[in-house]
Structure 1
Amino acid sequence: MARSLVSLRCATPADAPTLAELWAEVLRRTDQVERIADLVTVIERAATTDGQRLVVAEYDGEIAGAVHLHVATMTPINLEPIVFAVSPHVFPRFRRHGVGTALIDAAVSYAEERGIGHVATGAAAGSRDANRFMARLSLGPQAVLRVAATPAVRGRLTAQRPAGQRPGNRSGRQLTQVLAARRSLRRSQTPPSVGSH
C-alpha cells in the first residue's frame, strides 16, 4: 500500500506569505505586506481561540493547500452548532492529489472531536470543479451568498424608489410638505363630531 504524500498540520505565522498567495483572490484588496500581516493575525487568533483551527496541507513537504475551521451556529437565528470550513483552497499544481479531500477530512474530524453534527463550506459560484467536488462529498447547497459593494446596493435601492421619495429630490420633499399642510388644514376646518361637546 502506497503511503500518502499529504500531511496536515496547524498553520504557523511563517506560513503567512504562502497562504497570502494561496488565498489571493479571497483576501481583502490591499498590498501584499498588509495581506501577510492580516494572515499572521488570523493564524495567531486560530492558534489561541477555542473553536478555530487553521489547517495547512503539505504534499511531500511543500504547502499544497489550507482551510480555516471555525465553530459557529448555522445562522445567527438557527443555533444548531456547525463547523465552517472556510476557503478550502489547493494550489493548482497539487490538485487531484488528495489534498482537497484531506482538507475536508480535517473539517469532518474537527466536527467529530467537538460532537458537532454538521459541516459547511463554500465554493465560488463559477468554479464548476470545486462545486462538483463538494457535491461528491454530499455537501449540498443550503443558501446563496450574494455580495456587492455598499454604494452599489444603495444606488440600486435609490433607483427603485418612486421619484418623489428619492433622497435629494427637492420636488419630492415639497410634495410631502404640501400634502402634510393640506391634511393639517383639513383637520383644523373639520367641525367637531356630534357628542364631543
Structure 2
Amino acid sequence: MNRSLVSLRSALPSDAPDLAVLWSDVLRRADHDEQVADLVQIIEAAASSPVERLVVAEYDGEVAGAVHLRISTLSPLNLDQTVQAISPHVFPQFRRKGVGRALMDAAVCFAEEEGIGCVATAAASASRDANRFMARLALGPQAVLRVASTHAVRSKLTAQSPAAHRTSGRQLTQVLAARRSMRRSQAPTAG
C-alpha cells in the first residue's frame, strides 16, 4: 500500500514562526518577531473568512510548505472570480516530494468547492524551478508584476522628464523671489 507522506491542514497561530521562515522573502521587511505577529494576524483573519484559507502542508509530520488561498476577481478590471494561490512555498528539503502539487491541489479543490473556474498564482521571476512547475500545471503568464520603491520610481520619472519640466518649478520660484526683492527695493521708505 502506497501511503502519501504529505498531508494538508489549516494553519494555526502556532505555525507562524515556521511560516515566517518559509515566507521570509515575501513578508514585509521587519524583525522576525514582527513578521510572526503579522502572520498570526493573517492566520486568524483567514480562519474566520469565507473567502480565504491558509493551508499548511506537512511531510511526515513536519511543516513542509504553505499557501494562502483567496477568492478575488482576476483583476480590478476583469471581474471574473478566481482563486488566488498566493505564495505557494515549499521548504528546500521537502521539494520534489509532492508538497507543491498538494498545495496547488488545495487551490483547485477550493475553486471547485466555490464553483470558481479559474486559479491564479505567481512565482518569482528569478525562480526557474517554480515557473516550470507552474507551467507544467497549465498555469500560463497573464501579466508581469513589476515592483519598485516609490522613491526609485520618482527619481526615474524626474530624470526622464524633459528638462523644461524639471526646472520650471525652480525657475518660477526664482522669478517670484526676484519680483519680491524688486518690490521691496522700490517701496518708499517711511521717514
* TM more than 0.5: yes
Partner of 1:19: helix, strand, or coil?
A: helix
Give the 4+ runs in structure 1 shifted more than 6 A.
174-177
2:101 is aligned with 1:101: yes
Letter paired with 2:48:
T
- The 10-residue stretch of structure 1 (55-64 or 154-163) with the greater mean CA deviation from structure 2: 154-163
Percent sequence identity is: 65
Q: Distance in 2 between matches of 1:99 and 1:111?
A: 19
Q: Give the CA RMSD over aligned residues.
A: 1.7
1:37 is aligned to: 37
Match of 1:6 in 2: 6
Q: Structure 1 residues 174 and 131 mapped into 2: Cα distance closer, same or farther (>3 Å)?
A: same
1:120-151 deviation line (CA, Å, top 9, x unaligned): 00000010000000000000000000000000
Gaps of 5+ in 2: 177-191
Question: What does residue 136 of structure 2 align with?
Answer: 136
1:33-80 C-alpha deviation (Å, 9 max, x unpaired): 100000000000000111000000000010000000000001111100
Q: 1:108 to 1:176 in 2, by over 3 A?
A: farther
Q: CA deviation at 1:165?
A: 1.0
What are structure 1's unaligned runs of at least 5 residues? 178-197
Aligned ranges 1:104-183 → 2 under 5 Å: 104-166=104-166, 169-171=169-171, 173=172
Distance 1:63 1:168, change over 3 A: farther
TM-score, scaled relative to structure 1: 0.86
Name the CA distance, whole Å, in 2 between partners of 1:83 and 1:133: 18
- CA deviation vs aligned residue, 1:157-197 (integer Å, no higher than 9, x gap): 111111221267423x37999xxxxxxxxxxxxxxxxxxxx
For the residues of structure 1 that align with 2:141 and 2:173, how far apart are their CA atoms? 49
Residue-pair matches, total: 176
Change (3 A) 1:8 1:167: farther
Work out the CA distance in 2 between the residues paired with 1:92 and 1:176.
62
- Identify if the C-alpha distance between structure 1 residues 115 and 149 changes in structure 2 by more than 3 Å, giving closer, same or farther: same
Q: Residues 49 and 167 of structure 1: is their aligned pair in 2 closer, same or farther, counting only changes over 3 Å?
A: farther
TM-score by length of 2: 0.89
